[in-house]
Structure 1
Amino acid sequence: MFQITAKRSGRVALSLAACASAALALPVAAAEPTKVKVFIGAMFEIGENTGDRAGEFQHWYERYWKTSQPHAVKGALKPIYCNDDGVCGAVLGMGKVNSSSSMQAILLDPAYDFSQAYFVLSGVAGTPPSRGTIGDVSWGSWLVDYDLGHRWAPEEGKPGEPVFMPRKGYESYRVFQLNPALVNWAVKLGSGTNLQDSDSARQYRMRYPDKRAQAAPSVTVGTHMTGDTFFHGPGLSKEAQYMAKLYGADDYVITEMEAAAITLVIKRQFGTDRVLSLRGAVNFDQGNPNETTLQHLDPAPGQTAGGFAETVANIEAVGSRVVDHITANWAEWQKGVPPLPAK
């Protein structure tokens, strides 16, 4: 009797072991990727994501991801955050290579589905005093790469003529016209935002004779110029405007360091119809008539523009109107940008 029971027990054990092995051999169903509705890319944060001085990411984080867990992405500078509404975001890094390599890594992560996502590329920037002022928030209609050409010293060319010539072969990725329908939506949704200002910024603006420089902050639209070089001074500002016109773009209104490069990465996978460039002006791209360019680049204590805290708050205040509208009306936006209402 004992021998029969033992044999039965052995057969049961073998059977259970076989079942366990079969279960282990079954493929494990992969988790469904997170469907991203809007991705917000900032370029830097000053300290923590919340609770201290805000950089480009903090106001976005506090609005959308305070209760979200970070997800590390191999090859990206910082983790990505997502909320239950499909709004995701990350700090991508400053400069063209840094930011675009982070964006590439995030887009290739199988944990996310970006096939219907809208992209808001967000950060601070400079502006020419003839076209903008401290605290402005600007939507990019065109993105132009400041590089990808030939340059020479002014004294080595003809007096008064440009010192830049585009290099052949870069035509498809040195300039991008962003989707006018989407840009028009962004301008419409953001234009009613009550923008913050500061006494220090108001006082600083008065150093410039330009009426646009002296004006209160507003929501603007125009060409965003992307360059790793922190170009500065009236001469290079004029050159940037020359390049914008040379490429058939709108007036140059913003100087920044990332948008064209990130857009190229997105374009190669999803096109550019759902890309927005959003920038807040925290400095002028040149000094006032009473200071040299080098003096403006290295100001004495107390001589800086001010208004940084207010500008980063303005960026999120304007941009979140677009993000919230898209997610709240996802059935209309999922397959593409809907027509703008007539009124």
Structure 2
Amino acid sequence: MPKHSTPGLAALALSTFAAPLAAQEPMPVKVFIGAMFEIGENTGDRAGELQHWYERYWSETEAQDVPGAFSSMYCNDDGVCGAVLGMGKVNSSASMQAILLNPAYDFSQTYFMLSGVAGTPPSRGTIGDVVWGSWLVDYDLGHRWAPEEGEPGAPVFMPRAGYEDYRRFELNAKLVSWGVELSQDVEMQDSDSARQYRQRYPDGAAQAAPSVKVGTHMTGDTFFHGPGLSEEAQYMAELYGADDYMITEMEAAAIALVIKRLQGTDRIASLRGAVNFDQGHPDETTLEHLDPAPGETAGGFAETVENITLVGAPLVDQIVANWGDWKDGVPAHSGE
């Protein structure tokens, strides 16, 4: 073969290899929505935490496999991605880390919407409420003992030194303000069964119609119930200098720690809808509340999971539609 033909072959070889490399550029993710469980299919049946998000943003997309994650991931052409992360702190945070470390995606400017159902104390919330998290507090980091082994009426929790950097997270107040402002006129869904159930509680907050609220999300793998543990959660929120305890859930603080180590916390929003009270009404025991008789369960689940998306989607849409204003950080808004 003539020597002058060799450079041409080399250029052809380089171009052949360059094409697939260029196609592997990571996809920039503008918003990531993390749900914790889905009940059945992603659409067309009883909705869990992902379904309304899926129908709004990903019904025309293909599932993308992410090794190490709980489930497939979905992304649309606008840079909105989402997945079911799994229930509980370890499950969900392992999924989040697998997703963040996957080289197919660029999360360097991503906003994170951590979304799901939860419980609420009847003194501060009601079935169908949706609460923007201002603080995320880990319920499990510290020391606990049986009440009879301490001083009567005294708290049975004590923080342990060394957990200061990951037992609480104050979320970006500016981002929370955006979420509240954009969702303040949302028409919340409700049901007759939820209205009837609320009347079993004497608290004004419990009997009220669903609304958008702000407060601390308390993350614990233990599904704690009863007035005593509810009071303890409030005690912990005050102990850590956080806002009032509004939501009990199982994942947000753990997911936030994973995101913090890789991207920081300025772009995290935690959004939870209340589908149960964290304690029984005055005429039932905590065990009866946990294992209710037929007809004694709270209504409003279907309405609450819809409310979560109704409340959270305006922020997602605002970020995507005005990406030039958002890509470098949370912008100022009319309330400032």
* TM band (smaller chain): over 0.9
Task: Give the aligned partner of residue 121 of structure 1.
Answer: 114
Deviation at 1:33, TM superposition (A): 1.1
Match of 1:305 among 286, 298, 307: 298
Aligned residues with identical type, % of pairs: 75
CA distance in 1, matches of 2:293, 2:188: 28
Q: TM-score, normalised by structure 1?
A: 0.93
Task: Give the aligned partner of residue 60 of structure 1.
Answer: 53
Residue 139 of structure 1 aligns to a residue in which SS?
Answer: strand
Residue 310 of structure 1 aligns to a residue in which SS?
Answer: helix
Task: Give the aligned partner of residue 34 of structure 2.
Answer: 41
1:29 aligned onto 2:25:
no
- The letter of the residue matching 1:248 is G
1:211 aligned onto 2:201:
no
Please provide the CA RMSD for this pair: 1.6
State the Cα deviation string for residues 23-68 of structure 1 (Å, max 9, x = none): 2884542422111000000000000000100000000000000011
Deviation at 1:22, TM superposition (A): 6.9
- For structure 1, the residue ranges without an aligned partner over 5 or more in a row are 1-10
Deviation at 1:304, TM superposition (A): 0.4
Deviation at 1:20, TM superposition (A): 9.0
Match of 2:133 among 120, 134, 140: 140
1:284 aligned onto 2:274:
no
CA distance in 2, matches of 1:26, 1:276: 41
CA distance in 2, matches of 1:61, 1:44: 12
Task: Give the aligned partner of residue 195 of structure 2.
Answer: 202
Residue 44 of structure 2 aligns to a residue in which SS?
Answer: coil
Q: Deviating runs (4+, > 3 A) in structure 1?
A: 18-22, 24-28
Match of 1:257 among 239, 247, 250: 250
Residue 158 of structure 2 aligns to a residue in which SS?
Answer: strand
CA distance in 2, matches of 1:67, 1:20: 41
Deviation at 1:184, TM superposition (A): 0.7
Task: Give the aligned partner of residue 184 of structure 1.
Answer: 177
CA distance in 2, matches of 1:244, 1:340: 28
CA distance in 1, matches of 2:165, 2:335: 33
When residues 152 and 339 of structure 1 are mapped into structure 2, their CA distance, relative to the original with a 3 A threshold, is: same
Match of 1:336 among 297, 321, 329: 329
User: Where in structure 2 are the equivalents of 1:27-106 lying within 5 Å?
Assistant: 28-30=20-22, 31-106=24-99
Q: TM-score, normalised by structure 2?
A: 0.95
CA distance in 2, matches of 1:104, 1:239: 30
Task: Give the aligned partner of residue 174 of structure 1.
Answer: 167
State the Cα deviation string for residues 285-338 of structure 1 (Å, max 9, x = none): 000000000000000111100100000000000100110011111111111000
Which structure has the greater CA radius of gyration? 1
